[in-house]
């Protein structure tokens, strides 16, 4: 049963359709009493309850400015589930690059820095793997901040990473496609591929071959190349170094400044 715009769902009212994904539909909504703007992610009926329940569990335990704040998990009368988070206005990087083409390397460098800061929190501090990082799951805002969404296959680990539950072929590393358990290196590969995708303007042939455009500074290109190594043993990881700090230094070497000013023209 489709949700109708204006329909009341528990404590919330749907206001508009935001997007349709492969296994869910996302709506902008409002809390009926508080007036808070929220995101309502309704999973399709054929999705096992473990997926939305798992996403709700992950989001409720992660506390970071660039992760949506968890609000609620609803079970509807038709047995579908709705994950409720605070609403984040932003442009998915996948849509932005499809519309505007190649993204400026300095802008991509800024996004990479923010994502590495976030992944350091997730991987090192919280032992959580996202499992499906891609441009469509990274929302950019006019102040250059980002929000990571799409936590449907994300998992925590207390020692042994759990079974791999899904991925996106274009951005997942070979070992994830083979069905191996989730580990942080998979997120790092997907992040690297996402950044290369932005630099290539969504050109899939160039992107699949791992070609980095000539206008990308050499230190940046070398760092990205080490993120997207097919062999996980050769790929950059957190046990080797603090990747966030390493990237901050490389970014400054490339662009001679640590901040990127001005409006993002694709927003």
Query: What secondary structure does DSSP assign to 206-229, as a single string?
Result: HHHTTPPPTTS-HHHHHHHHHHT-
How much is the pLDDT for 165? 63
Share of the chain above pLDDT 70, in %: 94
Does the pLDDT value for residue 26 go beyond 90? Answer: yes
pLDDT tens track for 104-122: 999 999 999 999 999 999 9
The mean pLDDT of 48-69, rounded to a whole number, is 96
Instruction: Give the angle 81-43-5 at the CA atoms, nearest 5°.
Output: 90
> CB–CB of 182/123 below 8 Å?
no
Query: For residue 258, what pLDDT is reported?
Result: 81
Q: Which residue has the tokens 């170094």?
A: 241
Domain over 8-86 is classified CATH 3.30.43.10: no
* Interatomic CA distance for residues 108 and 105, integer angstroms: 5
State how far the Cα of 115 lies from the Cα of 191, in Å rounded to an integer.
8
Percent of the chain surpassing pLDDT 90: 76
Residue 263 pLDDT > 80, yes or no?
no
Rounded to whole angstroms, the Cα distance separating 164 from 79 reads: 25
Q: What is the pLDDT of residues 153-194, one digit of tens each?
A: 999 985 444 555 677 889 999 999 888 889 999 999 999 999
Which two tokens mark 153? 């296959």
User: Domain limits of the chain?
Assistant: 8-86, 91-255
Architecture of domain 91-255: Orthogonal Bundle (1.10)
What is residue 45's DSSP assignment? T
Helix (H) or strand (E) run with residue 146 in it: strand 146-148
d(CA 229, CA 220): 15
Residue 264 banded pLDDT, cuts 50, 70, 90: low
- What is the mean predicted confidence (pLDDT) over 64-84? 96
Q: In the numeric block, which tokens belong to residue 263?
A: 């409006």
Across the chain, what does the average pLDDT equal? 91
pLDDT of 127 above 50: yes
What does DSSP assign to residue 24? E
Tokens 């349709």 belong to 20
- Is the pLDDT at 92 greater than 90? The verdict is yes
Is the predicted pLDDT of residue 206 greater than 70, yes or no? Answer: yes
What mean pLDDT is predicted for residues 242-254?
Answer: 98
Q: Structure pTM? A: 0.93
Instruction: Name 210's Cβ contacts closer than 8 Å, sequence gap at least 6.
Output: 196, 225, 228
Q: Which two structure tokens, joined as six digits, stand for 93?
A: 């990087």
């Amino acid at each position: 049963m489709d949700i109708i715009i204006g329909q009341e769902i528990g404590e919330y009212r749907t206001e508009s359709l935001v997007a349709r994904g492969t296994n869910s539909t996302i709506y902008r909504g409002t809390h009926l009493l508080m007036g808070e703007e929220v995101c309502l992610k309704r999973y399709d009926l054929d999705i096992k309850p473990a997926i939305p329940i798992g996403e709700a569990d992950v989001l409720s335990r992660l506390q970071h400015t660039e992760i949506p704040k968890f609000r609620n998990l609803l079970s509807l009368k038709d047995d579908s589930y709705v994950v409720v988070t605070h609403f984040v206005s932003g442009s998915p990087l996948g849509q932005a690059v499809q519309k505007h083409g190649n993204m400026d390397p300095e802008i991509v460098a800024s996004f990479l820095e923010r994502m590495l800061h976030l992944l350091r929190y997730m991987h090192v501090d919280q032992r959580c793997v996202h499992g499906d990082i891609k441009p469509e799951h990274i929302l950019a805002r006019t102040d250059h901040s980002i929000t990571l969404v799409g936590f449907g296959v994300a998992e925590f680990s207390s020692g042994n990473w759990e079974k791999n539950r899904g991925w996106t072929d274009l951005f997942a590393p070979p070992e994830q496609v083979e069905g191996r358990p989730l580990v942080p290196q998979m997120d790092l590969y997907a992040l690297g591929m996402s950044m290369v995708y932005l630099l290539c303007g969504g050109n899939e042939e160039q992107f699949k071959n791992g070609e980095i455009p000539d206008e990308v500074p050499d230190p940046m290109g070398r760092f990205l190349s080490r993120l997207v190594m097919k062999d996980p043993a050769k790929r950059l990881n957190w046990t080797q170094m603090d990747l966030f700090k390493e990237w901050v230094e490389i970014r400054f070497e490339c662009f001679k400044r640590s901040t990127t000013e001005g409006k993002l023209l694709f927003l």
